[in-house]
Amino acid sequence: MPSAAELIDTRETPTAVIRGVVPVTQLADFFDRSFGAVAAFTSKQKVEIIGPAFALYHSAPSDAADLEVGFPTAQRVEPADGVEAGSLPAGRAARLVHHGGYDALGSSWGQLERWMREQGLEPGPSFWEVYVTEPSPDMDPADLRTELVWPIAG
Protein backbone atom coordinates (compact mmCIF):
# COMPACT_ATOMS: atom_id res chain seq x y z
CA MET A 1 0.00 0.00 0.00
CA PRO A 2 1.52 3.34 -1.02
CA SER A 3 1.47 6.69 0.71
CA ALA A 4 0.16 9.84 -0.99
CA ALA A 5 2.21 11.10 -3.92
CA GLU A 6 3.98 14.44 -3.63
CA LEU A 7 6.27 16.74 -5.61
CA ILE A 8 9.87 17.08 -4.47
CA ASP A 9 13.11 18.67 -5.61
CA THR A 10 16.02 16.26 -5.89
CA ARG A 11 19.66 17.26 -5.81
CA GLU A 12 22.42 15.63 -7.81
CA THR A 13 24.04 12.96 -5.68
CA PRO A 14 27.15 10.95 -6.59
CA THR A 15 26.70 7.19 -6.61
CA ALA A 16 28.70 3.98 -6.84
CA VAL A 17 26.84 1.52 -9.09
CA ILE A 18 26.89 -1.60 -11.18
CA ARG A 19 25.00 -1.21 -14.43
CA GLY A 20 23.37 -3.95 -16.45
CA VAL A 21 20.63 -5.01 -18.81
CA VAL A 22 19.12 -7.85 -16.84
CA PRO A 23 16.23 -10.23 -17.58
CA VAL A 24 13.50 -9.42 -15.06
CA THR A 25 13.54 -13.04 -13.90
CA GLN A 26 17.16 -12.52 -12.76
CA LEU A 27 16.77 -9.13 -11.05
CA ALA A 28 16.82 -10.46 -7.46
CA ASP A 29 20.15 -12.23 -8.06
CA PHE A 30 21.57 -9.15 -9.82
CA PHE A 31 20.54 -6.95 -6.88
CA ASP A 32 22.01 -9.29 -4.28
CA ARG A 33 25.36 -9.63 -6.09
CA SER A 34 25.61 -5.94 -7.00
CA PHE A 35 24.77 -4.45 -3.60
CA GLY A 36 27.35 -6.67 -1.92
CA ALA A 37 30.00 -5.90 -4.53
CA VAL A 38 29.40 -2.13 -4.38
CA ALA A 39 29.47 -2.08 -0.56
CA ALA A 40 32.79 -3.98 -0.53
CA PHE A 41 34.17 -1.70 -3.25
CA THR A 42 33.30 1.53 -1.43
CA SER A 43 34.82 0.18 1.77
CA LYS A 44 38.03 -0.67 -0.11
CA GLN A 45 38.18 2.84 -1.62
CA LYS A 46 37.25 4.40 1.74
CA VAL A 47 34.23 6.12 0.17
CA GLU A 48 31.37 6.87 2.55
CA ILE A 49 27.92 5.52 1.69
CA ILE A 50 25.45 8.27 2.61
CA GLY A 51 22.09 6.62 2.08
CA PRO A 52 20.15 3.43 1.44
CA ALA A 53 20.53 1.18 -1.60
CA PHE A 54 18.70 2.18 -4.78
CA ALA A 55 17.98 1.04 -8.33
CA LEU A 56 17.88 3.59 -11.16
CA TYR A 57 15.94 2.36 -14.18
CA HIS A 58 16.85 3.95 -17.52
CA SER A 59 13.57 2.86 -19.11
CA ALA A 60 10.48 0.88 -18.18
CA PRO A 61 11.36 -2.80 -17.77
CA SER A 62 9.75 -5.33 -20.11
CA ASP A 63 11.45 -8.71 -20.47
CA ALA A 64 14.69 -7.06 -19.34
CA ALA A 65 15.57 -4.01 -17.27
CA ASP A 66 18.27 -1.46 -18.15
CA LEU A 67 19.33 -0.27 -14.73
CA GLU A 68 22.08 0.58 -12.31
CA VAL A 69 22.06 -0.42 -8.67
CA GLY A 70 24.20 0.83 -5.83
CA PHE A 71 24.47 3.44 -3.13
CA PRO A 72 24.68 7.24 -2.89
CA THR A 73 28.16 8.31 -1.83
CA ALA A 74 29.83 11.33 -0.24
CA GLN A 75 32.13 11.69 -3.26
CA ARG A 76 32.69 10.17 -6.69
CA VAL A 77 34.34 6.78 -6.81
CA GLU A 78 37.22 5.78 -9.06
CA PRO A 79 35.68 3.17 -11.41
CA ALA A 80 37.16 -0.35 -11.17
CA ASP A 81 36.14 -3.98 -10.78
CA GLY A 82 32.81 -3.45 -12.58
CA VAL A 83 31.75 -0.60 -10.27
CA GLU A 84 31.08 2.73 -11.99
CA ALA A 85 30.71 6.31 -10.81
CA GLY A 86 27.19 7.52 -11.39
CA SER A 87 24.74 10.04 -10.02
CA LEU A 88 21.12 10.53 -9.14
CA PRO A 89 19.91 13.60 -11.06
CA ALA A 90 18.78 16.96 -9.75
CA GLY A 91 15.37 18.30 -10.62
CA ARG A 92 11.66 18.24 -9.94
CA ALA A 93 10.18 14.78 -9.33
CA ALA A 94 7.14 12.99 -8.02
CA ARG A 95 7.61 10.70 -5.01
CA LEU A 96 5.53 8.03 -3.37
CA VAL A 97 6.46 5.60 -0.57
CA HIS A 98 5.45 1.99 -1.19
CA HIS A 99 4.63 -0.01 1.96
CA GLY A 100 5.01 -3.76 1.60
CA GLY A 101 6.67 -6.44 -0.49
CA TYR A 102 8.45 -5.90 -3.77
CA ASP A 103 5.91 -7.99 -5.68
CA ALA A 104 3.41 -5.11 -5.47
CA LEU A 105 5.80 -2.35 -6.62
CA GLY A 106 4.31 -2.34 -10.13
CA SER A 107 0.95 -1.28 -8.75
CA SER A 108 2.51 1.60 -6.81
CA TRP A 109 4.45 2.74 -9.88
CA GLY A 110 1.16 2.72 -11.80
CA GLN A 111 -0.48 4.81 -9.09
CA LEU A 112 2.39 7.32 -9.19
CA GLU A 113 2.20 7.60 -12.98
CA ARG A 114 -1.59 8.16 -12.86
CA TRP A 115 -1.14 10.84 -10.18
CA MET A 116 1.51 12.61 -12.25
CA ARG A 117 -0.69 12.64 -15.35
CA GLU A 118 -3.68 13.90 -13.31
CA GLN A 119 -1.45 16.81 -12.23
CA GLY A 120 -0.56 17.52 -15.88
CA LEU A 121 3.01 16.27 -15.37
CA GLU A 122 4.89 14.22 -17.94
CA PRO A 123 6.95 11.39 -16.40
CA GLY A 124 10.59 11.35 -17.48
CA PRO A 125 12.20 8.31 -19.11
CA SER A 126 14.18 7.25 -16.03
CA PHE A 127 13.10 6.69 -12.43
CA TRP A 128 14.43 5.11 -9.27
CA GLU A 129 13.57 3.09 -6.18
CA VAL A 130 15.20 3.73 -2.81
CA TYR A 131 15.11 0.70 -0.52
CA VAL A 132 14.50 2.54 2.75
CA THR A 133 14.09 -0.68 4.71
CA GLU A 134 16.86 -3.24 4.26
CA PRO A 135 15.25 -6.63 3.67
CA SER A 136 16.18 -9.66 5.74
CA PRO A 137 15.13 -13.30 5.36
CA ASP A 138 13.08 -13.39 8.57
CA MET A 139 11.23 -10.06 8.25
CA ASP A 140 7.58 -9.53 7.43
CA PRO A 141 7.39 -8.11 3.85
CA ALA A 142 4.67 -5.72 5.09
CA ASP A 143 7.41 -3.89 7.00
CA LEU A 144 9.35 -2.99 3.83
CA ARG A 145 9.40 0.66 2.70
CA THR A 146 10.47 1.62 -0.81
CA GLU A 147 10.59 5.22 -2.00
CA LEU A 148 9.59 5.64 -5.66
CA VAL A 149 11.03 8.73 -7.36
CA TRP A 150 10.02 9.72 -10.91
CA PRO A 151 11.56 12.88 -12.40
CA ILE A 152 9.30 15.12 -14.44
CA ALA A 153 10.19 15.34 -18.15
CA GLY A 154 11.29 18.63 -19.59
The answer to whether 97 and 4 have CB atoms below 8 angstroms apart is: no
Q: Are 123 and 116 in contact (CB under 8 A)?
A: yes
Whether the Cβ atoms of residue 132 and residue 102 lie closer than 8 Å to each other: no
pLDDT, one tens digit per residue, over 51-69 is: 999 999 999 999 999 999 9
SS3 content of the chain, % helix, strand, coil (to 5): 25, 40, 30
For residue 134, pLDDT over 90 is answered with no
Q: What distance lies between CA 96 and its chain's CA centroid? A: 12
In the chain the domains, ranked by start, together with CATH numbers, are 6-151 (3.20.80.10)
The answer to whether the CB of 12 falls within 8 A of the CB of 76 is no
- Model confidence at 7: pLDDT above 90: yes
Note the pLDDT of residue 26.
96
Write out pLDDT tens, residues 15-55: 999 999 999 999 999 999 999 999 999 999 999 999 999 99
**Residue type at 137?**
P
Q: How confident is the model at residue 2 (pLDDT cuts 50, 70, 90)?
A: low
Q: Which residue has the higher pLDDT, 132 or 137?
A: 132
Return d(Cα 118, Cα 148) in angstroms, integer: 17
Q: Are 34 and 69 in contact (CB under 8 A)?
A: yes
pLDDT digits (tens, 9 = 90+) for 92-109: 999 999 999 988 999 999
Long-range CB contact pairs, 30-39, < 8 A, 24+:
30/69, 31/55, 31/69, 34/69, 34/70, 35/69, 35/70, 35/71, 37/81, 37/82, 37/83, 38/69, 38/70, 38/71, 38/83, 39/71
Tell me the pLDDT of the chain averaged across its residues: 94
pLDDT at residue 1, as a whole number: 59
Please give the share of the chain, as a percent, with pLDDT higher than 70.
99
